[in-house]
Amino acid sequence: MRSAASGSSSSKQWPRKTDCRYSEAMELRATVDVSEAVAGLDDLQKRQIPFALAKTLTGCAKVGQAKVQEGLAGKFTLRNDFTLRSIRIKPAEKKAAVIEADVHTSAISMGGGSGGWLKHELAPDYLLPQEEGGEKVPHAGHEYLAVPTRYLRALAPGIIPTELRPGNLLGAVAGRYTVIERRTKQIQLNRQKIVKGLVFFIQEIGDGHKAIMGRSVTSRIACPFYLLIPEARIKPRLEMERDVDEAVQAAFPELWAENWRQIMARGLRIQG
C-alpha cells in the first residue's frame, strides 16, 4: 500500500484541489498544485523548482508518516513496534521525471538468493484490509479464527500474554481435540494445562459454533474465552489515505515557503 505526494504546475489554483484515488496496486495519491506558487518567477529562479519541490514533498511525506504512526496506538493493540516501523517513506528525487514522495507500508524481511541472504520489502498483509475492509479467514492450515471474548479481556485487558493465546491453550495436544463427552459435548484436551488457575477445553455453544472454554480448577462453571468462527468481517479503520492527504495539504504551503526562503537566502547558488 502506497500513498504518494506529487507536485504539478498544470493547474491555475493552488493548493485547493486534492486528487485521491486507488490504483490497481493500492496507491493513494495526494496531488498538490504549485502553479500559483511558481507564478512570476524568472528563469533563474525556475531552475531551482525541482530542488525546492523535492525537498518540500519529502518533508510532506515525513509529516504524513508521523501522522499515520501517531494514530496507530489508538486504532490497534500493538505488541511491538513492527507495525510502526512498517509505515515508511520514499524521498522525492529532484532529477526524476515525476517528482513525488511516497508514504507506504513495507516490512523488511531476509530471504535467500543466488548471492546469499538478500533484503526484501514486503507489505504487511494485515494492513491492506484495515484500510479497505474485507474478509478475514483462517490461514496456515487452521480451521477457525479465535476471537477473544469479554471474559478473556477481563483477564488480559491489554496485550494478550503468550500463555493465554489460543495456540498455547490448545497446545497440550497440538490443536487436535480428543475424548468427546456425550452429555456435555465437551471436546476434552489430553494433558490439560492449568493457566492462571484455569483449565481449558473446546465446547459447542448455542449457535452451533465452538468456543475455547475456561473454568477454575475448583469450579464446574465455565465461560467462553475465545469464539471459534470460520471467518470475520474486518471494518476499515487504518485511514491512511485520509491522514496522509490531510497532512500533505496542511504541511505543503509552509514547507514550500520555508524551503524557497532558504534558496533565496543562499542567492540561488544551489547546483543542479
Domain coordinates in residue numbering, the chain: 2-112+235-265, 138-230
Using DSSP, state whether 48 is helix, strand or coil.
coil
Is residue 33 packed enough to be buried (19+ CB in 10 Å), middle (13-18) or exposed (0-12)? buried
pLDDT of residue 172: 45
- Which residues are bridge partners to 112 per DSSP? 117
- Which residues are bridge partners to 5 per DSSP? 30, 101
CB atoms within 10 A of CB 113: 10
Q: Regarding beta strands 2-8 and 27-33, do their DSSP bridges make them parallel or antiparallel, or are they unpaired?
A: parallel
User: Checking phi first, is residue 140 left (phi over 0); if not, alpha (psi -120 to 50) or beta?
Assistant: left
Radius of gyration of the chain (CA): 27
pLDDT of residue 10: 32
What is the chain's pLDDT, residue by residue, as a tens digit (272 residues)?
454 555 543 322 333 333 333 333 345 556 666 666 666 666 667 778 888 999 999 999 999 999 999 999 899 888 888 888 888 899 999 888 888 888 888 765 544 444 444 455 555 567 888 888 888 888 777 788 999 999 999 998 888 988 898 888 876 434 444 444 555 555 554 456 678 888 888 888 877 788 998 888 888 888 999 999 999 888 899 999 999 999 999 999 999 999 988 888 876 554 44
Contact assessment for residue 104 and residue 88, using Cβ atoms and an 8 Å cutoff = yes
pLDDT of residue 41: 67
- Which residues are bridge partners to 199 per DSSP? 194, 215
* pLDDT tens digits for range 243-270: 999 999 999 999 999 998 888 887 655 4
First to last CA, the chain: 32
Cα separation, 128 vs 240, in Å, equals 10
Q: Nearest 5°: phi and psi at 260?
A: -70, -35
E strand spans, the chain = 2-8, 27-33, 87-90, 100-105, 107-113, 116-122, 134-136, 145-148, 180-181, 186-187, 194-195, 198-204, 210-216, 222-229, 232-234
Question: What's at 154, amino acid-wise?
Answer: A
User: Checking phi first, is residue 54 left (phi over 0); if not, alpha (psi -120 to 50) or beta?
Assistant: alpha
11 contact partners, CB below 8 Å, separation of at least 6 = 17, 33, 35
Q: Which of 37, 8, 38 is nearest to 99 (CA)?
A: 8
Contact assessment for residue 221 and residue 155, using Cβ atoms and an 8 Å cutoff = no
